[in-house]
Structure formats: C-alpha cells, structure tokens
Structure 1
C-alpha cells in the first residue's frame, strides 16, 4: 500500500536533498528578522518611541538589532545555530506577547509563536549539513 509520508521521507532524507531543504528553511525562517532588523536601523527614533510606549526600555533597541541582523546572518550561514535559534525563539515569543497581545493583532502573535516553534525545532535538530557549524564541529 502506498504511504505518502514514507514516499516524502525517502526523498527528503537523501543527504543532498536534506541539506538543501534545511538551508532553504533557515533562509525562510530568518528573512523576516533580517528585513525587520535592517528597517529598525533606518527608523531608529520611531522604533525607540514605539518600544517605550509599549513599556520596553529604548536602550534595548541596539540589542534587538544585533539579534535580528547579526543573529540573522549567523543563523542563515549556520554559525552557532543552536544558540542563535534559542535566542530567536525566546525573542519571537516575548516580542509577540509584548507587542501583539491585543485581539486585533492576534495573527501577528500567532506568527511570532509559530516562528518561536520553528526556531526551537532548529535548536534541537541543528542547522543541517550545509552550515558553518557542520564544518567547525566535524560531526
């Protein structure tokens, strides 16, 4: 009997396919953060004001930008991936709860929670074969 789950498993567990899929997954997960972090640099004062209005100290913005841009680049290239994934997961969930807790913003909260789950998954499973971590760790 044909089992589509087994069929897909046979494809995606091939080493080259798995490597490509994990690389694409890292890129898709991190795109939002790279774009958002870069935008925060050019709208710095407005973002600080928004943070303060939401009860978050404005001095934290450089840390947010560092995590989104610096952590984003590290995550994309698979460098210190598990550590970066942990911090991005925590950041995604906390920022969702702080900035998107209203009923009108429910979809953004769900997006943040989903991203947090994705980052926790990468933290557990690792960055995949095509990553700097793989070269450094010599698994």
Structure 2
C-alpha cells in the first residue's frame, strides 16, 4: 500500500498529466479538423452544434485537470463527458473496435470519478490557491 503523502501527491500529478493529455490533444485536433469532425458527428446522428461544446469541454477540462485548477469540477464534467461519448458514439455491440473504445471511455470515466473525490493533490493550482 502506498500511503506516503509525497508519493501520493506525485502520483496524482502524474495521473493528471496522463489523463489530461488525451483531452487536450483531442480538442486541439478537432479544431484543426473541424469540418471532418463535424461530418463524423452528423454521421453518428449528433447535432453539429455540439462540436464547439465538445472542443471547449476537452480543451478547458483537459487544461484544468493538467494544472489542477478547479480539478474536482473539471473531473466531474469529464466523467460525464466520457460516459456520454461512450454511450452516444462508441456503443456499437457488433463492432469489437468500437466496444473497446466504449470500455476505454468507461474506464477513463472511472479515473475522473476517483480524481473528483481525491482532488488534485499538493502539486496543483487548487492547493496553491487554498494556501493563500
């Protein structure tokens, strides 16, 4: 069992970095490939008007988790986002690749739920702001 405060805070930092990068890069790539992403969303039966919201959630949420700023709120939003995208985009029972993506989204959602409960740790803007 790991119960050393410095190791736990370092682990939270590393976990936040690893979890956030996926969303920061995904949001950024959606900006660069806006029309292609929009067409994909429409082909999945989703309204194109959701794309700006998706980009904001991925970029701002990812950056908030990375920096440890409003971490619990950002983690809850990304938890819900992961569940929604798993259900709306990747739940295709006949397609093993989509079902793997579905399970990955559910797993990432679990990580965000844990982060929402545990908080960002000492190496975060949340901690720095709380100390002032």
- 1:56 and 1:133 map into 2 onto residues whose CA distance is 35
Specify which of 82, 92, 99 is matched with residue 82 of structure 2.
92
Q: Give CA-to-partner distance per residue, 1:99-138, whole Å, 9 cap, x none.
A: 1111311100000000111101100111111110111123
- 2:9 and 2:119 map into 1 onto residues whose CA distance is 11
**2:108 paired with 1:115:** yes
Task: Return the index of the structure with the highest Cα Rg.
Answer: 1
Match of 1:60 in 2: 50
> Following TM superposition, by how much is the alpha carbon of 1:59 offset from its aligned partner in structure 2, in angstroms?
1.3
- Counterpart secondary structure, 2:49: helix
Within 5 Å, which residues of 2 pair with 1:3-18? 9=1, 12-18=2-8
Match of 1:37 in 2: 27
Specify which of 99, 106, 123 is matched with residue 106 of structure 1.
99
Write out the 4+ residue segments of structure 1 that deviate beyond 4 Å after TM superposition: none
- 1:64 and 1:19 map into 2 onto residues whose CA distance is 29
Within 5 Å, which residues of 2 pair with 1:19-30? 19-30=9-20
Flag structure 2 segments of 5+ consecutive residues without an equivalent.
none
What is the TM-score when the length of structure 1 is the normalising length? 0.88
- 1:130 and 1:100 map into 2 onto residues whose CA distance is 34
> Following TM superposition, by how much is the alpha carbon of 1:63 offset from its aligned partner in structure 2, in angstroms?
1.1
